[in-house]
Structure 1
Amino acid sequence: GKIDQGIVSVNAYGVYEDVTLPLICKVFKPKSRLKPGDIYKTKTEIACEIIEELMDYGFTIKLVLSDSLYGESRRFIQTLNKHKLNWLLSIRSNHGVWLGPGQKVRANRWCAFERHFRLKKPEQRYIREIIFGTRRKITYWELTTDLKEMPEQSTSFVMTNLQGSRNTLKKEIGDLYGLRTWVEYGFRQCKQELGWTDYRLTHIEGIEKWWEVIFCVYLMISEQTEVLSRNTSSLEKNRENSKARKDTSPAVEKQEAIHDQWRYERGWKSVLNNMRLIIQPTLMLCVISSWLSVFPNQRLLGGLKQLAWQVSRYSLHYWDG
């Protein structure tokens, strides 16, 4: 659940390699804002509905990550287990587990592991298993960045139903759970870039519609990234075909090189920047079209149309998978 301008939303988003994808967003309505006929739903109930919807849509989910609000919800875990999903959930440090007579909670020794990042060098982190009585199918772990200070912001307790040897889990859990922080940060940055909180609406229905538009644009941009676009060979083939065409427009590569704001770096923001450049001529044409009907200028109109057509040939390839 995220709070934006006083409105709380429950968001589901996915990650495919290094690209975040928005899936579903639902507004949480506190009891004080319910209208006659509305049914109050907790955040975890909304999250369960989202899981059900995603499964109905046919999504294949490899792993579910969440914060402790949902990790402490029995209903949420039951929903995940119902669909036989793998999960890795944050829990509170005082998480309770039933123990048998004479059983105790013990923590194993800390083990160092490397936390891998997409754009940075690996960093050393630490992990240890917490055992409640005896080992179970569900395992519990504590992770931290600093054994001496144990900083609150970078120390986490998690539980998971992932199976495997303890050595394998120690190596995998740190990177897998680290995705939650990375994805949440990337998700927030991307939706804010598109104007997630720029609405001037007061009705929940209007806000939901605005967020739906943002999600659509977000998904469109994500689909243009290198990871989700067509494979490299297809891109090269299309570029060669573009060069071979005998028309008045320059090759796509040459057009890209001309615009001084074109970004060649990988990443979501680079794609967003380039798409904004591509639609600029069309937007300009739409803005001044009314004035051109008052003061006709065929040369200007024709030039803008030609420019818009040429730039439209940049088309960033849609994912067809």
Structure 2
Amino acid sequence: MTSRRPCPPAPGPLEEYAARFDDLFFSLAQRRGFREYLTGLLAPRERNKTITCLAGAEPVAGAGTPGVQRLQFFLSESPWEAEQINDRRLELLREQSATAPHDGGVIVIDDSGDRKDGTATANVGRQWLGRLGKTDNGIVTVTTVWTDGRVYYPLHATPYTPAHHFARGRSDPAFRTKPQLSAALAARGKEAGFGCRAVVADCAYSVSDDWYLALREAGLAYVVALKPHRGTWAPADQPHIPIEAAQDLTWKDAKSPGDWTPVKRHFRDGHTETWWAADARLGGYGPNSPCRLVVATTDPAGLPPKATWYLATNLPHPHASTGPHPPADLGEIVRLYGLRPWIEQSYKQIKDELGWADFQVRSDRAIRRHQTLVNCAFSFCWDQWFAPPGALDATAPDPCPDKGAERGTRPVPPAPTALLAQGLTSHPFLAHPRRHPQPVVASLDGQGPALRPAGTDQRGHYRTRH
């Protein structure tokens, strides 16, 4: 068997990470493309990370250069499987003790949309885009993230295909709603070895019966938010919406809490808050029912809208009879749902720093490949965060030589000089491959993992948008 030709190494410690994927690529060109794409995603840039940007070429005018065409072919035409790459990425996360999943974490599901012009791109359509907070033309991707509050990373992602792309619309057998896609991704996460205490989601998923059924078939517990005014059947003299059920709970004050139990929440910056939680009764919900309604709030008397959660869960009450899942008290349910914002944090990082929505390809396969490579770049940052500090690599080329900004007249900030970032500038670099990439993760996570001291500077980011 002919030995493989050596591949030009990726800068610094990225080469060791990229080499773990080499057996999944069939040619030197693919291995080289993988390294170049990840390097471009991780390197600091002053404009959106389109393929011309990743290759270090001028926009539009540089589209025909060999480096750009090589990356374009790698993303769109080269025969490699994105699913295999993602499986290997997850395998590496499982193998590292610092990022290995455990049953105390959660799988958070959500979807996020980004604007895209035109109609020829796969999965594009006029739909609600959460990033913009309005209905517009764009692409929505359903994603899952595993987190325990200390580490967090994406598991799987799949673009949602609007009904108009199918011959029979929503009645087409191939059409899948976002709740159906998300439940399937959560089940895949469990099958991939990422155990969790529960699947966590916001109120957009609580309206789908298919979502509940799919999670039950997969043997997954859930904690999902309910809309406070979403009605359900009940006798005329009983509550019909979650907020009414919460108002029926007895409360006098903190010394005489009635039905409410104090719950202490611990936050990343070290401060704590006392919330109040209670099991409420509404229709089929109840402490001894298969599905519980848990209300958590900072003020049981006023139930402030922005600080009150109405949560449905199939985790049984501690005093209930045994069920398919271990019981959970009010404090644990509040803790589990309190982990949900970490998926929003990951969105900020993969979009603002790693170019999740900056692709300029049209095929579904190329879009999925780009998203897989972005997730690889994200996971590399965790890989290096927990790696012991190493010597500087003086032989690696500088991806951003001192020749001015790529766009505009704004000067490029100097690369970090400290091995460990003590604080972030207002426009943080994402990586410099000649240095141990602790600044990579420091710029992705303003406070870093809980084991590290928090930085003092505020994180900001300014980008041009299409």
- Give the TM-score category using the shorter length: 0.5 to 0.7
Residue 225 of structure 2 is aligned with which of 90, 93, 117?
90
Q: Does residue 113 of the first structure (1) align with residue 268 of the second (2)? A: no
Give 1:4's aligned residue: 114
Q: Name the aligned partner's letter for residue 238 of structure 2.
A: K
The answer to whether the 8 Å contact 1:262/1:274 transfers is no
Aligned residue for 2:186, secondary structure, equals helix
Once the 2 structures are TM-superposed, how far is the Cα of residue 153 of structure 1 from its aligned partner?
Answer: 3.1
Distance 1:126 1:112 in 2: 5
Change (3 A) 1:86 1:17: same
Aligned residue for 2:303, secondary structure, equals coil
Give 1:206's aligned residue: 366
Give CA-to-partner distance per residue, 1:19-77, whole Å, 9 cap, x none: 11111111111123447999321111211321332233333232210112222222211
In structure 1, runs of 5+ residues without a counterpart are 230-234, 243-247, 250-258, 281-310, 317-321
Change (3 A) 1:204 1:35: farther
Give 2:279's aligned residue: 129
Alignment size in residue pairs: 254
Give CA-to-partner distance per residue, 1:74-111, whole Å, 9 cap, x none: 22112222232221111222445555x68834543343
Aligned residue for 1:89, secondary structure, equals strand
Q: Name the aligned partner's letter for residue 140 of structure 2.
A: V
Q: Does residue 104 of the first structure (1) align with residue 268 of the second (2)? A: no
- CA RMSD for the aligned pairs? 3.7
Once the 2 structures are TM-superposed, how far is the Cα of residue 13 of structure 1 from its aligned partner?
Answer: 0.8
Aligned residue for 1:206, secondary structure, equals helix
In structure 2, runs of 5+ residues without a counterpart are 1-110, 116-137, 240-244, 250-258, 320-326, 396-414, 441-466
Give 2:454's aligned residue: none
Give CA-to-partner distance per residue, 1:199-252, whole Å, 9 cap, x none: 2334443322221211111122223333xx5xxxxx5xx97xx8xxxxx99xxx
Aligned residue for 2:175, secondary structure, equals coil
- Give the TM-score, by structure 2 length: 0.47
The answer to whether the 8 Å contact 2:265/2:274 transfers is yes
Once the 2 structures are TM-superposed, how far is the Cα of residue 312 of structure 1 from its aligned partner?
Answer: 7.6
The answer to whether the 8 Å contact 1:13/1:21 transfers is yes
Give 2:214's aligned residue: 79
Correspondence 1:166-181 to 2 at 5 A: 169-181=329-341
Q: Does residue 197 of the first structure (1) align with residue 352 of the second (2)? A: no
Distance 1:220 1:213 in 2: 10
Residue 139 of structure 1 is aligned with which of 292, 301, 307?
292
Q: Name the aligned partner's letter for residue 431 of structure 2.
A: R
Distance 2:330 2:311 in 1: 12
Q: Name the aligned partner's letter for residue 294 of structure 2.
A: W
Distance 1:16 1:263 in 2: 27
The answer to whether the 8 Å contact 1:24/1:50 transfers is yes
Which structure has the higher relative contact order (CA within 8 Å, separation 6+)?
2
Change (3 A) 1:266 1:115: farther
Give 2:185's aligned residue: 50
Once the 2 structures are TM-superposed, how far is the Cα of residue 195 of structure 1 from its aligned partner?
Answer: 1.2
Once the 2 structures are TM-superposed, how far is the Cα of residue 266 of structure 1 from its aligned partner?
Answer: 9.0
Distance 2:188 2:419 in 1: 37
The answer to whether the 8 Å contact 1:51/1:79 transfers is no
The answer to whether the 8 Å contact 1:142/1:157 transfers is yes
Change (3 A) 1:266 1:48: farther
Distance 1:266 1:173 in 2: 35
Once the 2 structures are TM-superposed, how far is the Cα of residue 275 of structure 1 from its aligned partner?
Answer: 7.7
Q: Considering only CA atoms, is the larger Rg found in Structure 1 or Structure 2? A: 1
Q: Does residue 215 of the first structure (1) align with residue 347 of the second (2)? A: no
Once the 2 structures are TM-superposed, how far is the Cα of residue 263 of structure 1 from its aligned partner?
Answer: 5.3
Aligned residue for 1:211, secondary structure, equals helix
Once the 2 structures are TM-superposed, how far is the Cα of residue 160 of structure 1 from its aligned partner?
Answer: 1.0
Q: Does residue 24 of the first structure (1) align with residue 122 of the second (2)? A: no
Distance 2:328 2:219 in 1: 21
Distance 1:3 1:12 in 2: 14
Distance 1:153 1:200 in 2: 38
Q: Name the aligned partner's letter for residue 155 of structure 1.
A: T
Change (3 A) 1:266 1:71: farther
The answer to whether the 8 Å contact 1:112/1:127 transfers is yes
Give 1:264's aligned residue: 420
Change (3 A) 1:95 1:18: same
The answer to whether the 8 Å contact 1:263/1:274 transfers is no
Distance 1:121 1:313 in 2: 29
Change (3 A) 1:179 1:55: closer
Change (3 A) 1:312 1:176: closer
Distance 2:182 2:266 in 1: 29
